[in-house]
Structure 1
Amino acid sequence: MFCSSTVQRRLLTRLISGKPVAFSSAGCASVRGIPEDDAVTQIVGYFNYSPPCHNTKFLINSIRTDVWFRNEVARSGPSEIDAVLEKLSPDYAIDFFSLLQKEFGFKHSRNSWFIIAHILVEKKQSRALKCHLQNMLQEEDYFLKFFPSGSGSAPLLCDLLLKCFSGWNSTHLVWDMLAFVYSRAGMVHDALVVLSKMKDFDIPPSVETYNSLMHNLRHSYIMQDVYRDLEDNGIHPTDYTNSIFLDGLCKQSLIHEAIPFLQKIKEKETEPCVVWFNTLMSSFCRMGYVDIAKSFFCVMVKSGISADAYSYNILIHGLCVTGFLEEAIDFAIDMEKHGLEPDEVTYTILAKGFRLLYLKGGAGKVSEKVLNRNSNSDLTYTIQIYWHCQFGNVEEGFRLREEMLSKGHKLNGILYRVLFSTLCKSRMVKEALLLLSEIENTGFKPDAFMGSMIVHGLCKLGKVEKAIQLYKEICVEEFASNPQGSISLKKYDILTNSDMILDVASYNTMIDRYMKLGDMGEAIKLYGKMLEKGVSPTIVTLNSLITGSCKTGKHADVKKWLADIKMYNLVPTVATYTTLLNAFFEVGDTKNAFGLLKDMKANGVEPNKVTYSVIMKCFCKQGKLEKSVEVLRDMIARNLSPDQGCYNILIKYFCKAKNFKRAFELHDEMVRFRIKPNQVTYDTLINGFCVYGDLGDAEKLFSFLKGQKFRLSKVAYTTLIKAHCAKGDAWKALALFHQMSEAGFEISVKDYSAAINRLCKRSLLSDVMEFLRMMLVDGFSPDEQMSSDILRFLDEVEDCFSKFQIYALIIKCG
């Protein structure tokens, strides 16, 4: 048997019975002066004397539920766990560390984290090392509790590495990964602290670490210092390194340095790549110098570098916003000739260009020129058909369509939507139905926009049954899945006015839709028509009407809906009570609200999560924050698991009270209960720091979340942008604008207006000009609010030349 030895038999008994076994201390030298007969020796022996057949996974599973083991760990301090980790084999150490953290909730010391980091280096598990150090930073006090002042945790961690791990093998790789992880987390200052210490001890950073740091610093002049340091250390920059550096120079508008740098790397026999040219072209287009961007495009092509779709889209966009639409179309056609399929971005840019030129009265001439040349490409047909349909020339649009199909070309989704919309607007319903059939045969799925138009047209032709069928197939499904859409239900009035009787579910869908669109008048009319046709309401119908009346402040109507509930013998649901509770609390009628709670309990209706959220919000508004926390505790005691919304309410009001420590305690509680904080949670915390606390703390949280690859919302970006503008730090605001755009968020004129409004209040002339230039490049014109803010600001500007420049920019913006 495998348990032949006395030690093995005793261990097996231990594993089965859950009682501790006293092991011999032979081969288990004590660590840091800890006696050999204490918990350290016991725990180490637990692993070292396990039967040979017990692999790591088996042993970890066996001790996971072991009472003795849990008690020993509970009595052990961080230093004793450090000692255990140093004495275990690598595989046991990693699993033991993870077990304590995940299963036992043990908070490891920084020393333990670094012990495991060095073990992962020895095992050559670089990806695991990166994740491990990222988790270590997340455990630091500045994130989970409250942000301390100063540079963060880097100085402490560097001192620990120097004092305790300088003699360990491959410790230089841990240093490098620590700098890399700090950089990836957006904690640039901490990364620079680590690099400085590495330089003192001749530990060379990797090119990946330099790349990550330069990427985070590409909006700062410090980027140049980092690049010089890279060269001084004899590290050969990669193409990606040079791309980052070139992009940074362009983002800092250092074009006079970007071009010599490109020539310099060419002299080093480094072949330029398309990314470098795209970076330069984008920068020049952004500044309005499209001709220079075109010259770089020509140089790129002559150098044998193939342009990609992004190269063409950069120039097409630049030409469109500066009014050269005809030339933009030529580039789009050339793009197609070179085997690059124009994408949705290309069509969107060109459509925007037509719109801008149309407003200036020059689009017709361009359309004629396009019509008379290059008429055999899909792109040219798409542009022409789109143009004619948009401006009501249906016959010409469909003539071009037939011509396109006769030449073997296929229509794309954009063209189908435009053609269909044009037919419906022109009341050509029969033709629209034929096109709808063609669309379905090609595999495109009609959306709710198409459905609404065709149903409306069918009803006008008297084909109500066909309209109802399409309505149920397309529109009801769309309404249920997209309640916030912009389709007006007025298009379906003819359905309710016809002799056809819809079921109550259809009425409920439309009433709920009207309510969510804020059109309670139409919802009430529809309810009346429903009753006229003998369709009895359900509690769902009345709940929608109660919700709508409460949201629009028509509390008098609520009494009528409550009377109808009784009249139709309907039973109020938890949703009914919760809606009414919220309405009472909103108007400050706490007496009736708590009376309703008693009535709710008397009728055996149990409160749900939303009910508790409403009560918590009420206490928060009254300033009774701890009372609100008690409600949360009561909710948990009733086995109702709170969601993010419950915690977000409390976090919001604790931030308002400037009690950030309590807010983060609630955040930590969410994590412990495996309730994943969402975008609203972090939006609330970032806004709280910006409005009621320290902007620097908001930046640290923002950077940390980016480093953890958390998908931040646009609100998080705009909150920080407005805060920096209000503080007068336009440089950081501009950097965040670029980051927001790179993250895929659409920039609107309101975003610019919010920033410029705050910069005007700070009388920052050059910064106002920079934001106006960005607006021009993005094709926006100042709205009414922004114009008035700028005009008031200019009244106070004494620099006549600068004032003239701003006036010129405003005129150029339109």
Structure 2
Amino acid sequence: MRTKRLLSAQLTRLISFPKNPTREELPLLLILRQFSLDVSSSATTTTTTADDDTAAVTQVVELLQSQDVNWDDEKLRQLLSSSTSPFTHSRLLKVIRRVGDSSKALKFLEWFEQYTSSSSSPISPVASYASAYKAIFDLASREPDYHQKLSHLLQTSRARGVPLTRDSASLLIRCFGRAQMVTDSIRVFNDLDPLLRNTYLCNTLIDVLFKSDRTDDALRILDDMLAPDSSSPPNDVTGSIVFSALLKRNQPRMVVSGEKIIELVSKMGESGVSPDAVRLTQLVTMLCRIGNTGRAWDVLHLVMKMGGVMEVPSCNALLTGLGRERDFERMNLLMSEMKQMGIRPSVITFGILINSLCKSRRVDDALQVFEKMSTEGEDDGVAVQPDVITFNTLIDGLCKVGRQEEGLALLDRMQSQHGCSPNTVTYNCLIDGFCKAGEIERSHELLERMKEGGSHPDVVTLNSLIDGMCSHGRISRAVEFFREMQRSGLKGNIVTYTTLINAFCHVNNIHKAMELFRETVEVGCCPDPVVYYTLISGLGRAGRLDDAWSFALDMQEAGFHLDTTSYNILISGFCKKKKLDKAYEILQQMEKEGIRPDEVTYNTLIATLSKAEDFSIAHQLMRKMIDEGLVPTVVTFGALISGYCRAGHLDEAMKIYRDMGSITKVPPNTVIYNILIDSLCKDNKIEAALSLMDEMHVKGIPPSTVTYNALFKGLQEKNWLDKAFELMDQMNTRACNPDYVTMEILTEWLSVVGETARLKRFVEGYEVSVSSM
């Protein structure tokens, strides 16, 4: 060790070249000086060569960059042959990279190839031009119209038999993909030597294919990568590309099915590639949003089984989807699995559970989860502190089921026990709950408490209070309150005005409703279809149909359009007034505006025409209804049957009834049977009426009091007492209560024939067909 230290010290002194060396140091010093001279000479030679190389390349580049390059100019030849060393392949690449123009670079390469093949100068011939073309590809990729230039360069290289390098192929695939020349990208990949294809190149191509919506082609490449004997196995970059592409396909009609997603996750997992926590969360969320929660469950558990990264956000995403479907069984199962895996639920996790339970009106279960949230895991210290959102969700759930007092108690608890300050949403939930319960004063007390606590009322607060007051007949107070809030700086929205307008329409104060409507325009609230519907409905109910139609025309001139419901109100109103011409005018206007009539439109017109006994036009409308893809309903047929019965055309009415069951497959209901039975009885066809009653029993259609009343009236005309007693027993058996019409018919009839005892038994609910004697 001592010898090494001495030698090291001696060498250090020698390297510094002492002025007075000792006799022992002199030989070593001479050797070091000689070595120093050799190194200096070598360095000088290298520097000279590098300088010469740079100068030669610079001169060639300057000549090529001149305006008009004379390829026959001797100066270019001299520059290539006058350098101290041959103009090698590396110098060629330097010239190409620095020339800055792919066309000139290609021209120089072609000229250089001819020059080296014909020249007897010492310039070394280039063995391969593949890397030179790669350099020219690089230049072209940064130029305008790069895709056209790259296509030309690729054709040129192919014609000259120059193979593509892996880097060239990667650049071309990316550039062609960016230019939407995906077929060319695929051709480049297919033409490349299979031995040069690697994972990076495959990743480049599938990225291009996914971005160009060539999903099937991308999946074919991916399947090759996933093959057991693949030389290009997927890596994390592959996973990033594939999972990102799947996440972008969140359209209602996915290109990649849920089954295919699971297959991909499984196969990539076998290759050691799993979605990271963020992408797994996004993938689960996407599947849940498109209604494929079952597949989301499978994906999460597949990654779980493969040992992939599993974090609470991914579980929360699945819980949200399960909650939307009210699948509480699997929600509880997932919570248990989280606990087994050591994944600690967050406040968001419990919030999802509580929200789902509250929306299902299972508020008591939600309260149990809330209590569990604060106490679970006390032994190992993992209790979760509820936040204001949790409390708001619970309070809103309690108010929605009419338990606003409990919601108010929870408000006090959140402040006293948890130190959680309520916000505007908290108070809005309570105010709305008390308003819906008719406790308007309590709602106003909460409003004052809200202000004292530092929370500011918003338009939701305003709308809840105004709706509550209007719903409980305090319209004037609602307007007064609205004006107070406006003076304090809180402006209403279209919902506020619609609520007030609707309230005034219901009390037939159309003048005030129209005044408020004009105010919406003045204050900048954009009217929506609901407020128009409200006004038109109000005008219609008030019998001011001409005003309603005039209002509708004014709306159209202002650029607004009525919806189908609004048109139906107008048509129905004019039909009730027996103004069919006006109703047809509105129908034509409706079609002109591109608004398709619906079943309600046609049923209203058919019913009106049937009452007017204009059956020809009524059937024409029904045919038009069918031609437009609408299916006649029981209401449609009921209108026609009622019309024919009222006109005394029982045969036509019965024909439509039979067609309902055999042709249209629309089953008749109790109302239609009542119309037919009543008409048959009035036409003294009691047997046919009783036969229809039997059909009702067979088809399981329950007769109503109206049915029995019609039959009792018909039986009275024929004095068929035994059948009447039988029907009276049926009424008791079916718990079909008699009304005043029933009692009037039976009292008059049975009193005359001396059967008042049976009538008494009927009223008391006993069997009447048995003799009372």
TM over 0.5: no
TM-score (structure 2 length as normaliser): 0.42
TM-score (structure 1 length as normaliser): 0.40
**Structure whose alpha-carbon radius of gyration is higher:** 2
